[in-house]
């Protein structure tokens, strides 16, 4: 593909010879004279100049010492578009594999791929263009919307509803029982979990993540939300639109996230609270109370990020604080 074609395709400004041909997309460190590469972080500018890359897709208008540039205001998004052109999506054979066991009360619409050894229960509806890869198990009364993609070995319990273009990676479990028990004379008795799960349009869920069904109503993952691997979404949780939940995070029962909330890796939240829209929760943090709109909370327990940073800065020098105080007045010290 010629550089001028690429520029046109993604809407980039071309600086340099547009007739040169790009044969591959490469990261900076391995780009060669056939590569288009990609730069957003100015930290790597020197590396970009020194690289053998034929051309650089960037948002920078700076001088790159003669490199051919494709300048775009959102180069990562343009890059994603190019990846779709250079790497064709895998195609799946249409039809139901002869080893798939689909209850005859379930309805599979046109242009679906139902893979080997898929098992599907009663009264399901699978809409057009769905791909269900081998070894998925779908319970009763599930709805799988247009163009959803279930990677191998996804499990949906009964009554789960996926809207359109939902992507579930291998090992995802949706609709497992929430962790609900009642103590009864010293015994722990299971509280039946009779709700369900609704996953809205364009949600993607990473490998081995678990989403529990509601106890009475629905656990809801809002449209456009992205959940990474090995996360836990407990019963009755609701996510707003476009939330981003990073790996190994967990959200406890009945907690509500607004729109655009980001939970960084290995973070968690207690149950029954609200995390305001567009809030960011720091990595490894534990949210223990409501978080206001557009906040940045960090720590265990999570607090305002600036206050957290200040606290941490002092903590890193607590030895000096301690020594100073000792000089002023002797602290009774069990170790001395």
Task: Check if 296 is active-site.
Answer: no
Instruction: Work out how close the CB of 252 gets to its own copies at its nearest, in angstroms, rounded to a whole number.
Output: 6
Instruction: Work out how close the CB of 174 gets to its own copies at its nearest, in angstroms, rounded to a whole number.
Output: 9
Q: What's the Rg (C-alpha) of the chain?
A: 26
CB nearer to its own copies: give 65 or 336: 336
User: Do 67 and 53 touch, CB atoms closer than 8 A?
Assistant: yes
Instruction: Work out how close the CB of 33 gets to its own copies at its nearest, in angstroms, rounded to a whole number.
Output: 17
| Options 72, 113, 149, 235, the catalytic residue | 235
CB nearer to its own copies: give 145 or 268: 268
Instruction: Work out how close the CB of 117 gets to its own copies at its nearest, in angstroms, rounded to a whole number.
Output: 6
**Minimal CA–CA distance to 1: which of 91, 89, 83?**
83
Strands 210-212 and 173-176: parallel
Q: Half-sphere exposure (CA, 13 Å, Cβ side) for 116?
A: 0
State how far the Cα of 212 lies from the Cα of 31, in Å rounded to an integer. Answer: 44
State how far the Cα of 89 lies from the Cα of 68, in Å rounded to an integer. Answer: 29
Q: Half-sphere exposure (CA, 13 Å, Cβ side) for 250?
A: 13
CB nearer to its own copies: give 49 or 270: 270
State how far the Cα of 160 lies from the Cα of 140, in Å rounded to an integer. Answer: 8
Instruction: Work out how close the CB of 126 gets to its own copies at its nearest, in angstroms, rounded to a whole number.
Output: 17
CB nearer to its own copies: give 250 or 276: 250
Helix (H, G, I), strand (E, B) or coil at 335: coil
State how far the Cα of 20 lies from the Cα of 227, in Å rounded to an integer. Answer: 39
Q: Is the dihedral of CA 281, 282, 287, 293 positive or negative?
A: negative
Q: Which residues are catalytic?
A: 235
């Amino acid at each position: 593909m010629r550089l001028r074609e690429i520029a046109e395709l993604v809407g980039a400004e071309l600086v340099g010879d547009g007739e040169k041909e790009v044969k591959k997309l490469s990261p900076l460190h391995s780009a060669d004279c056939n590569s288009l590469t990609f730069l957003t972080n100015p930290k790597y500018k020197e590396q970009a100049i020194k690289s053998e890359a034929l051309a650089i897709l960037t948002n920078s208008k700076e001088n790159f010492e003669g490199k051919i540039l494709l300048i775009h205001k959102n180069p990562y998004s343009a890059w994603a578009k190019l990846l779709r052109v250079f790497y064709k999506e895998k195609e799946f054979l249409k039809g139901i594999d002869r080893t798939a066991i689909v209850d005859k009360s379930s309805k599979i619409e046109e242009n679906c791929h139902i893979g080997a050894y898929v098992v599907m229960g009663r009264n399901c509806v699978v809409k057009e263009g769905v791909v269900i890869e081998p070894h998925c198990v779908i319970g009763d009364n599930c709805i799988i919307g247009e163009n959803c993609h279930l990677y191998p070995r996804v499990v949906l319990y009964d009554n789960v509803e996926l809207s359109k273009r939902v992507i579930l990676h291998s090992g995802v479990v949706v609709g497992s029982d929430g962790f609900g028990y009642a103590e009864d004379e010293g015994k722990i008795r299971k509280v039946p979990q009779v709700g369900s799960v609704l996953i809205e349009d364009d949600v993607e869920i990473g490998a081995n993540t678990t989403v529990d069904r509601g106890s009475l109503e629905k656990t809801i993952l809002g449209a456009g939300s992205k959940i990474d691997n090995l996360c836990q979404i407990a019963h009755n949780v609701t996510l707003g639109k476009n939330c981003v939940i990073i790996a190994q995070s967990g959200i406890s029962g009945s907690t509500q996230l607004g729109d655009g909330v980001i939970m960084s890796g290995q973070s968690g939240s207690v149950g029954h609270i609200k995390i305001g829209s567009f809030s960011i929760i720091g990595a490894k943090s534990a949210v223990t109370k409501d978080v206001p709109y557009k906040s940045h909370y960090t720590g265990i327990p999570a607090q305002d990020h600036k206050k957290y940073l200040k606290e941490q800065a002092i903590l890193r020098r607590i030895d000096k604080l301690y020594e100073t105080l000792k000089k002023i007045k002797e602290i009774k010290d069990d170790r001395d």
